[in-house]
Structure 1
Amino acid sequence: MKKVAIQLHLWLGLISGLVVFIVALTGSLLVFREELEPLTDPRFFMVSPPAAGHRQSLDALVETISTTFPDKKISRVIRESAADRTVVVELKQSKKAKDILAVALNPYTGEIVATRQEQDAFFPTVLRLHRYLCLGETGKVITGISCSLFLIIMLTGLVLWWPNRKNCSQRFRIKWNASAKRLTWDVHAVVGFYVLPFIFLIAATGLIWSYKWVNNLLFLAFDGKPQVKREAPVNLSAAGMTTMGRLERVYVQTNQRLPHPGRFTLIFPETDSLSLTVSKVDETAAVSNVVDMLYFDYRTGQSTGQQLYSETTRGFKARRLIFPIHTGSLLGWPTKLIALLVAILTTTLPLTGFYIWWGKRNKPKRVVRRSMQTRTHMSVS
């Protein structure tokens, strides 16, 4: 069994090692993205609220965007609950889903303070590198396969690590004063053992984004059927009818029905016949990524439906948990710190593994000593 495990661990590690290193490194950068992004780009995300603190209506902000960028279609509006944050409006520049122009507005003055191509920004680029290696669908296939292989690598690594009576104490600690060869092996084996439960869970949840059948399997396990696609309902109003101030009405109604603090996201439909979709994060929930969905008539702002988190299926709730488990944001800072440490330590595994293999590969061949009988025979001859 160990012979098979050695070969699988070696060759699968060599095949996927570079991708695992990149994914782990970029994953460590993304753990605190929400906290770091406003600090790395304060002009885009931060404003100084005035003493009065009166915000302009969403309708006025959207009108500013429509006037400034008449040839672009508004896809969503994002308003944070904090008073010192900008309102971000995303615009589609073409039919490509990722070709997004993000515009930040001062919610108090209505002024456009910054713009950026979303696909060129630092953290979105890191995210694309993490998920697709910046190679689109080809990269998605590569990361999906590498993630799957990494699960096998971890299991075979556990088989190889498993201690016996003689080396039990050596399997749980690193001997820092050992030779370079021994130290490298200790770092690889011991670090691998301690991060295995966490990184196995992170890698396994990552398969949700790589393979649709894994996502469907999750819903089958909890709901007994595949995921049902959620679509915005049709508008209740007649075509051509438009009510002034409808977007601000949507914002006010949302906060009345969902009074908890959290990010407000207004998603515009592909066609005017469908309702507006509003998602609001519940920042008071025990775990992260608890989101309620409301729907409003595109023309009048009248309520057309809702999908509250508390009323969703077990499969949908389980699916909502996948992201915070994968990113470490499940319970806030404590689990984020664990995820950060695990991701950083995981980057050492491909490096130490390659060093161990390279050292054995280039190990000088020992000169085989002739037996005493052979030397005696030669001397007699």
Structure 2
Amino acid sequence: MAIAARPFWVRVHRWAGLATALFLCVAGLTGSILAFKEELDAWLNPRLFLAADPGLPMMDPFALRDAVREQLPWARVDHVPLRREAGRAVVFRLTPRPDPATGRPLPLRATHAFADPYRGKVLGWRDEGALSLARENLLPFIYRLHLDLTLPGVWGRLLYGVIAVIWTLDCFVGFYLTLPAPGARRKGFWRAWRPAWLIKPGASASRYTLDLHRAFSLWLWALLLVYAWSSMMFNLRDQVYMPVMSTVMPFDTSWRGAPVRPAPMAAPALEGQAALSAARRAMDDLARERGFTIDGEESLMLDRRRGLYAYLAHSDADLRRHVGNTAILIDADTGERRGVYLPTRGAWGDTFSNWLGALHMAHVFGLPYRIFASLLGLVVVMLSVTGIIIWRRKQLGRSIAASRRPG
């Protein structure tokens, strides 16, 4: 970039920062909390998440599902959790029942139910889309705020997607602006660039604010770019992420490519244990083909819109230690494979995307990285606030200088 272009990129950086500051503050603050979402949710709502172990064996997964169905006749329960933890409730996803007269979905009271795996009793339920600060809804509300600002429909995610695009591009603009000007490089590039990486001790408030903004941006630049680009992946996957990334990486699109049926499936030919056995066989075949090993089951869920079962398991291809994302789709009538989703061992683009998502959500490298990710959310807030302070001081300085000019 030419010297004359530098003032232009300063203005671009300034306005990009101002446009994204509020949204990044919200995302940073909520993200720092969500790094510990499961623990905080269980701490706030023990009646939902904890189930006293009476010394009895846990119920069969399908028997437990049927017990939940009987207690919640106003909802469909097509989700069968297969992973169990001693002393923990089993969480079921709920879907709306169709109106017998019109076939349209009826209003749904809740999106998730919590069941005692020993006795089959429903401990409670909640609507994770509810805009409420009540204890049982607090963490889902924070998640919605982080995900889409609680805006209706797709508008929140589209807005955050646009912010992610600006943030991604601004990462490169900001990095460029930290580089020393050509005239300053005569004494050596690194010697001229080194102050940008440091916080000067004993500096004035203005210099200290600038050093905080610049130094933290440089030291954490790669991870900030990861969070910016992964935010675009989550919010503008089809519009931006896939068109860009598929030009340089191959993807397996079978997981999302199955067509929607003309009408939702009423009763699949495979049900209960027969569906699970078919899913296990299909997963075993896939494991032999791709060279991974299954070491635990996660869930089986019927997708009536597409006539498929989604079967999730944990394998050595997973990035997360305890939660499985190795998945396969099978036809709900025939058991034939219809799609796969592999965290690794598959197409390069899928592996890259899974790493992006796992880093964004702090699902890798254990507790140390979760703490780091939580602190990084606060750093994002600090960078946004210091950017506004720097802009405001410069604006005031220009105003004062203009008022002192003759005429």
Q: TM-score range by the shorter chain?
A: 0.7 to 0.9
CA drift of 1:353 comes to: 0.9
The 8 Å contact of residues 26 and 130 in structure 1, kept in 2 or not, is answered as: yes
Say which SS state the counterpart of residue 91 (structure 2) adopts: strand
C-alpha distance in 2, partners of 1:192/1:21?
A: 15
Give the corresponding residue for 1:365: 400
Structure 1 residues 232, 104: closer, same or farther in 2, change over 3 A?
A: farther
C-alpha distance in 1, partners of 2:201/2:254?
A: 50
CA drift of 1:124 comes to: 2.8
The 8 Å contact of residues 79 and 301 in structure 2, kept in 1 or not, is answered as: yes
Is 1:223 the counterpart of 2:250 in the alignment? yes
Q: Deviations over 1:118-139 (max 9, x none)?
A: 2133333222222211113222
Give the fraction of aligned pairs with identical amino acids, expressed as a percent: 20
CA drift of 1:227 comes to: 6.2
Give the corresponding residue for 1:106: 116
Structure 1 residues 296, 13: closer, same or farther in 2, change over 3 A?
A: closer
Structure 1 residues 20, 184: closer, same or farther in 2, change over 3 A?
A: same
Q: Deviations over 1:5-24 (max 9, x none)?
A: 21111112112211121122
Say which SS state the counterpart of residue 310 (structure 2) adopts: strand
C-alpha distance in 2, partners of 1:248/1:46?
A: 30
Give the corresponding residue for 1:153: 170
CA drift of 1:348 comes to: 0.5
Q: Which piece of structure 1 moves more, 345-354 or 15-24?
A: 15-24
Q: Deviations over 1:49-104 (max 9, x none)?
A: 2334x011223222222222223222423343422221112212374999842111
Q: Deviations over 1:141-163 (max 9, x none)?
A: 22111111112322222222224
Give the corresponding residue for 1:207: 232
Is 1:60 the counterpart of 2:63 in the alignment? yes
The 8 Å contact of residues 94 and 110 in structure 2, kept in 1 or not, is answered as: yes
Give the corresponding residue for 1:378: none
C-alpha distance in 2, partners of 1:86/1:206?
A: 31
C-alpha distance in 2, partners of 1:240/1:145?
A: 40
CA drift of 1:194 comes to: 1.4
Equivalent runs, 1:351-362 vs 2, <5 Å = 351-362=385-396
CA drift of 1:36 comes to: 3.3
C-alpha distance in 1, partners of 2:363/2:312?
A: 19
C-alpha distance in 1, partners of 2:54/2:277?
A: 21
Normalised to the residue count of structure 2, the TM-score between the two structures is 0.75
Give the corresponding residue for 2:295: 260
Equivalent runs, 1:292-311 vs 2, <5 Å = 292-294=326-328, 304-305=336-337, 307=340, 309=342
Give the corresponding residue for 1:72: 75
Say which SS state the counterpart of residue 400 (structure 2) adopts: coil
C-alpha distance in 2, partners of 1:97/1:320?
A: 34
Structure 1 residues 10, 296: closer, same or farther in 2, change over 3 A?
A: closer
Structure 1 residues 307, 181: closer, same or farther in 2, change over 3 A?
A: closer
Structure 1 residues 82, 146: closer, same or farther in 2, change over 3 A?
A: same
Structure 1 residues 280, 100: closer, same or farther in 2, change over 3 A?
A: farther
Tell me how many residue pairs correspond in the alignment. Answer: 358
Is 1:280 the counterpart of 2:316 in the alignment? no
CA drift of 1:29 comes to: 1.9
Give the CA RMSD over aligned residues.
Answer: 3.7
C-alpha distance in 2, partners of 1:259/1:158?
A: 43
Normalised to the residue count of structure 1, the TM-score between the two structures is 0.79
Structure 1 residues 112, 151: closer, same or farther in 2, change over 3 A?
A: same
Q: Deviations over 1:20-52 (max 9, x none)?
A: 211222222222324433233222122222334
C-alpha distance in 2, partners of 1:240/1:154?
A: 49
Give the corresponding residue for 1:41: 45
Structure 1 residues 142, 270: closer, same or farther in 2, change over 3 A?
A: same
C-alpha distance in 1, partners of 2:18/2:373?
A: 24
Higher Cα Rg: structure 1 or 2?
A: 1
Say which SS state the counterpart of residue 268 (structure 1) adopts: strand
Structure 1: gaps (5+ residues):
371-381
Say which SS state the counterpart of residue 80 (structure 2) adopts: strand
C-alpha distance in 1, partners of 2:278/2:55?
A: 22
The 8 Å contact of residues 47 and 85 in structure 1, kept in 2 or not, is answered as: yes
Is 1:141 the counterpart of 2:158 in the alignment? yes
CA drift of 1:312 comes to: 4.0
